[in-house]
Amino acid sequence: MKALRASRMERCIGCHSCSLACARLVHKVLSWNKAGIRIASAGGLSTGFEARVCLACSPAPCAQACPTGAMAPRRDGGVMHKENLCIRCGKCAEACPVEAIFLDHEVNPYVCIHCGRCVAFCPHDCLELVDLPAKGGEAADD
Amino acid sequence: MIREFFRVMVVNLTTGKTNIVEIGGRSEFLGGCGLAALLFRKYGRVDADWDHPDQPLILTIGPLTGYYPLMSKTCCAFRSPYHNQYAESYAGGKSALSLRFADLDGLVVVGRAERLTALCVGSRRVETRDVEYMRGFDALQTGRVLRKIFPGSGRRSILRIGPAGENRSAFACINVDTYRHFGRLGGGTVMGAKNLKGICILGDRGFPLPEGKAYPKLYQHIFEQLTTTEMMAKYHGVGTAVNISPLNKLKSLPWKNLQQTSSPEADKISGETFADDTLLRNAACAGCPVGCIHVGFVREQFQANNQYLYRQVGYDYEPIFSCGGMLEVTDPGQVLRILDVIEKVGLDNMSAGVALAWCTEALDKGVITEAETLVRFNWGDADTYMKGVEFLGTPPNDFYRLLAQGTMKCARQYGGEDFACVLGQEMAGYATGEVFFVSEALGFRHAHLDAGGYSWDQKHEEREVEPALDFLVNDGRDRIVLNSMVGCLFSRGVYKDEELAAALDALGYGELNGKLQDIGQRIQCARWRLRLDMGYDPDKVKIPKRYTEITTWKGPLDVDYLDALRRGYAARIKAMGTDPRGEIDPAQYERKGK
Ligand code: SF4
Ligand code: SF4
Ligand code: SF4
């Protein structure tokens, strides 16, 4: 099972191409927020950039916090968001230790599904798709 | 997707009231510089000076902003303190995408706040704050404080001015995010006159995209073209600073107040040297994978015993020309130190450097004395130039007050007009020859970006007037179309009319196919009409003697050719400015019953 890693953020130029690609290709919107990865300057442009992106935790605190099972853990780490189960309580975003879940003003959560579609749009090769060590065990269905 | 109308927020700083206005005219004006001209006709005043509180500060984006790569610029329009006529300036950073995601095609600020104020706008927000305590804050410090006041890292843009704007230096810039600027012709001064220290734009919305594969496919195609090795090598690699060496070889690099057009010393401040010795990293405007912003680094010892501080300073070709070559400062670190002060004070770097170059020559010639300049400027002496920059931002006497209104204004009073390197405003860094000089001296923005006159000079040895003028007008119009979208001019090789039409089409706005040239023409005439209405007379433009004394790779400058171009271009400008296609009746674009 794959996971997106922002492994080389010290190379980031802050172009937002990754966020725009995720929003466009995964969520079908024009946005730099409604995306699995979001770029913030670490205190003004002069100190570089950081990526807000899912770490693919296992166990996943966001899934544990979700009261309805809408944030469902993936087998080897990270989550799938099942829109039809989501009651928009925002608990997942609160639970995430790295602010990887974006809530829009209607409290819809946006989180990385580790598909890797943003990777090709990064001009500085900051992002990569890696293999997660297989966990096996109890979790989900995909 | 693309609306057929413009959604504009109008903030009145006098009354504290804000309106959202819907204005028609998308198919006539597109957006960007076209929309700005329409908005100035609606909100601006031809019969009042630049600093009248009614005069608007206008920010606009275009139909493609954010939807495609390098559609990443904002047009800023205002009546300029520099010449008291209509002017435009462009910048990127995160400003364009922030406006897009704030769901605003335009932001218009009118009125004057009673006390120093910061404005914050977003898709669900408008707020002003009293920031009187920030009076005199430099632009970097102002940015830091505004970031704290208006949180939203990564999805907001922060525009602000330094002391130069507050003190009404006529070439004060608006600093945008970090290392980007609405540089030329005094946008920062207009903010200062409005008592507006900063604007935060929160880009907090998203928009549905067209169904189907056409749009993402076209995006990918354009993205690939824009990130080809050639583009990346030029703008991303060494960056615009790469121009220093070739221009020097062509004897087209203004040097030492244009006493020379090349120098054996130029290699010391070439783009390659900057990259080797100072380049810290690249950065990009939001929505641009090219990333042309080059951030240099300079280390300074401030105490004995190995105590150092470091500065990070953005550089490009233009500031290296103006604060390097023109001042004969040939150490990249010293150039960066001057630029750092300019960044903080909040001045246009080209105007500041060129003004100080004139000062130095005027001192050398005895036209002015240290009684006026307070310090003795010497070629290459960065520390004194840094002082000079501060004087331009916060004038300590009448001399600097006048110099900060424009080098030519100062020279008219003190002497030294012949060697004031002013082409409508302090020149840009191209001593390429007759066509560029005329293009900048008479051109709409008095900028090297109005049209590619510098490139015409480099490619044409024949001295024909009409083909050169055709080129200036037609290339200018192509740039106007791109400036209405609003795309970065570095992408102009990719975004030709057909690509732009396809890009609009993929967003469900196909009806402009084949009409972009007509629209470009309308906007071109409308902009010139605005300037002529505010008193611009292209026949009266003089090109200072210094420009006739230079030698380029083509040999000595041809004064007759220069003059023929000047007269011919003036005639063309007057024709465009009186062309009925440029008449705008804003009432025609009001959306009835909305
Ligand atoms: S969204 Fe946050 S909590 Fe959930 S798996 Fe990703 S990083 Fe962990
Ligand atoms: S891996 Fe996929 S879901 Fe995650 S940020 Fe990239 S495009 Fe979005
Ligand atoms: S695409 Fe790459 S360089 Fe651009 S913001 Fe994302 S991580 Fe940074």
* Mean pLDDT, range B190-194, rounded to an integer: 98
Q: Are residues B167 and B256 in the same domain?
A: no
CATH number, domain of B36, equals 3.60.9.10
Q: Are residues B179 and B53 in the same domain?
A: yes
Q: B84: which 2 tokens?
A: 């008291």
Per-residue model confidence as pLDDT tens digits over B447-483: 999 999 999 999 998 899 999 999 999 999 999 999 9
- Given a cut of 70, whether residue A138 has pLDDT beyond it is no
Q: Are residues B34 and B179 in the same domain?
A: yes
Chain B nearest CA to A51, separation (Å): 10
Q: What is the domain count for chain B?
A: 2
Q: Are residues B28 and B78 in the same domain?
A: yes
Q: Among all ligands shown, which has an atom nearest to the Cα of A61?
A: 1
User: How far, in Å, is the centroid of ligand 2 from the Cα of A9?
Assistant: 15
B396 inside domain: yes
Using 50, 70 and 90 to split pLDDT, how confident is the model at A141?
very low
Q: Are residues B140 and B274 in the same domain?
A: no
Would you call B208 and A29 a contact, using CB atoms and an 8 Å cutoff? yes
Range of the domain at B150: 6-202
CATH number, domain of B398, equals 1.10.569.10
Tell me, what's the pLDDT at B512? 80
Q: Among all ligands shown, which has an atom nearest to the Cα of A128?
A: 2
Across B56-78, b (16+ Cβ under 10 Å) vs e yields: bbbbbbbbbbbbbbbbbbbbbbb
A110 inside domain: yes
The count of other CB atoms within 10 Å of the CB of residue B125 is 12
A142 inside domain: no
Using 50, 70 and 90 to split pLDDT, how confident is the model at A48?
confident
Which ligand 3 atom is the nearest neighbour of the CA of A6?
7
A141 inside domain: no
B557 inside domain: no
Would you call A33 and B178 a contact, using CB atoms and an 8 Å cutoff? no
Phi, psi of B475 (to 5 degrees): -65, -40
Using 50, 70 and 90 to split pLDDT, how confident is the model at B593?
low
Per-residue model confidence as pLDDT tens digits over A51-103: 999 999 999 999 999 999 999 999 999 999 999 999 999 999 999 999 999 99
Give the C-alpha separation, A77 to A130, whole Å. Answer: 12
Evaluate: CB of A101 within 6 angstroms of ligand 3: no
Chain A nearest CA to B162, separation (Å): 17
Maximum CA extent, chain B:
73
B295 inside domain: yes
Q: What share of chain A in percent tops pLDDT 70?
A: 91
Question: Which chain A residues are Cβ-neighbours of B101 within 8 angstroms?
Answer: 31-33
B525 inside domain: no
Q: Are residues B243 and B101 in the same domain?
A: no
Q: Are residues B267 and B358 in the same domain?
A: yes
Report the SS3 class of residue B27: helix
Q: Are residues B162 and B262 in the same domain?
A: no
Average pLDDT of chain B, as a whole number: 95
User: Which amino acid, one-letter code, is at A141?
Assistant: D
Contact yes or no for B188/B174 (Cβ under 8 A): yes
End-of-domain residue from the set B391, B425, B459: B425
Q: What is the DSSP string of B262-279?
A: --GGGGGGSHHHHHHHHE
- Given a cut of 90, whether residue B181 has pLDDT beyond it is yes
The length of chain A, given as a count of residues? 142
Residue B194 burial by Cβ neighbours in a 10 Å radius (0-12, 13-18, 19+): buried
Q: What is the domain count for chain A?
A: 1
Per-residue model confidence as pLDDT tens digits over B269-308: 999 999 999 999 999 999 999 999 999 999 888 899 889 9
Please choose from A117, A126, A142 the residue to mutate so as to test ligand 2's pocket, defined by most ligand atoms within 8 A of CB. Answer: A117
A137 inside domain: no
Q: Are residues B282 and B179 in the same domain?
A: no
Within an 8 Å CB–CB cutoff, is residue A34 touching chain B? yes
Q: What is the DSSP string of B49-78?
A: -TTSTTPPEEEE--TTTTTSTT---EEEEE
A136 inside domain: no
B72 inside domain: yes
Tell me, what's the pLDDT at B235? 84
Give the C-alpha separation, B501 to B491, whole Å. Answer: 15
Within an 8 Å CB–CB cutoff, is residue A71 touching chain B? no
- Given a cut of 50, whether residue A139 has pLDDT beyond it is no
Q: Are residues B170 and B52 in the same domain?
A: yes
CATH number, domain of A120, equals 3.30.70.20
Phi, psi of B203 (to 5 degrees): -95, 85
Give the C-alpha separation, A33 to A103, whole Å. Answer: 9
Per-residue model confidence as pLDDT tens digits over B130-166: 999 999 999 999 999 999 999 887 789 999 999 999 9
Range of the domain at A90: 2-127
